[in-house]
Amino acid sequence: MERNPLQRQVAYMRRSLFDQGYLDEQFVQLEDLQDDANPNFVEEIVTLFYTDSARLIHNIEQALESRPLDFIRLDDYMHQFKGSSSSIGAKKVKNECTQFREHCSARSAEGCVRTFQQVKQEHTILRRKLETYFQLARQAGLAN
Amino acid sequence: MGMATEAQFHVLAVDDSIIDRKLIEKLLKTSSYQVTAVDSGSKALEFLGLQEAEQRNLSPPSLCPSQEMEVNLIITDYCMPGMTGYDLLRKIKESTSLKDIPVVIMSSENIPSRINRCLEEGAEDFFLKPVQLSDVNKLRPHLLKGKAREEEEEEEEEEEEEEEEEEEEEEEEEEEEEEEEEEEEEEEEEEELSSNKRKNVEESLSHDRTRARFNGLEVV
């Protein structure tokens, strides 16, 4: 089967997302679930993740503003965030969530604030990469 | 009997995370299960209670017929606000009508004491999240066990009925036999009375050796 240049680009991009540690094996599980009945399953669940995590980010930001910090509540939000990240294979985001939770356990306000910035950063980077990836994949599919 | 030609197993999935609900739903559908996904333990009980009430009342089809509502397995997240998966598991096992439905717990945290507690409470299995297709493939034996138990109970009932019928037949036969035997005995008695004594003694000796041994005539 001959791949057109776009398809090669898509494959390359996909490969690097894994190699650079943005995605893990769970993403492959999602790809395997995609079928004729649900041809856009991966993109749908990723979109759902970004909608849902926007809500969590907002909640965490608010919680980080209250004094004293409610570490239990923060940890609870982050537990949810980490769970969803894990479910879509968002490896770096998941790891940052783990860091955050460690600071919650240590009751370190500074640690929480700092790592939360990292969580948001990875979250945004991945969203942009995946948006590009899905767009490219669609173009490559159409170009057939 | 009115059943669908291809009986599908119906799984009730319980998870407060919308992403995980979408995932588990897809995993189950890919494995050809019928799925109902709810976001809390209380909604799960509501759904199960609704199904329970229907089966009792055989209510008119304002909702789906009770056949479609039957739940063959419950898969639930452990960490949920309000009612945890463990709380839900307990409530199900405490219910006379629901306790035989197999329950599987999912959790993102690998905590052995948690896992053991759930298994002790009657959970069939415990999956670590993110749940994968290989995990869902492990559900089939639990589902078949539940189905087998149901069918066993039905079979047992049928067998009991059959046995009762057989017993009745046997009793009738026995009565007939007894009547026949009584008739025969009467005939024999008449014969004996009319035959000579020697024949009698011989018969009794050959038929009843133990008695013969104790009458002192035996030579050791």
Query: A88-111 pLDDT, tens per residue?
Result: 999 999 999 999 999 999 999 999
Per DSSP bridges, beta strands B125-128 and B73-77 are unpaired
Amino acid at residue number B147: K
Using a CB-CB distance cutoff of 8 angstroms, which residues of chain A are in contact with residue B18? 48, 52
Closest alpha carbon within chain B to A47: B19
Phi-psi region of A138 (alpha: psi -120 to 50; beta: other; left: phi over 0): alpha
pLDDT in tens, A49-93: 999 999 999 999 999 999 999 999 999 999 999 999 999 999 999
Query: Which one of B23, B24, B111 would you mutate to disrupt binding with A, by most A Cβ within 10 Å of its Cβ?
Result: B23
pLDDT tens for chain B, 220 residues long, are 444 445 689 999 999 999 999 999 999 999 999 999 999 999 999 999 865 666 666 555 444 444 457 999 999 999 999 999 999 999 999 999 999 999 999 999 999 999 999 999 999 999 999 999 999 999 988 888 777 777 777 788 788 888 888 888 888 888 888 877 777 777 777 776 766 555 554 544 444 444 444 444 444 4
Q: Which of B18, B27, B129 sits opposite A33 (nearest CB)?
A: B27
pLDDT of residue B215: 43
Closest alpha carbon within chain B to A42: B23
CA angle B72, B74, B75 (to 5 degrees): 135
Q: Does B217 touch chain A (CB under 8 A)?
A: no
| E-assigned strand segments in chain B | 10-14, 34-38, 73-77, 103-107, 125-128
The complex scores an ipTM of 0.94
Using a CB-CB distance cutoff of 8 angstroms, which residues of chain A are in contact with residue B27? 33
- Contact (CB<8Å) B108/A44: no
pTM, entire model: 0.76
User: Could you tell me the two tokens for B9?
Assistant: 């197993």
Please identify among residues 110-169 of chain B the ones whose CB lies closer than 8 Å to any CB of chain A: 129-130, 132-133
User: Could you tell me the two tokens for B162?
Assistant: 């059959």
Whole-angstrom CA distances from B63 to B67, B70, B72, B122 are: 11, 13, 19, 31
Please give the CATH architecture assigned to the domain spanning A5-140.
Up-down Bundle (1.20)
pLDDT in tens, A29-41: 999 999 998 999 9
DSSP one-letter code for A64: H
Please give the CATH architecture assigned to the domain spanning B2-137.
3-Layer(aba) Sandwich (3.40)
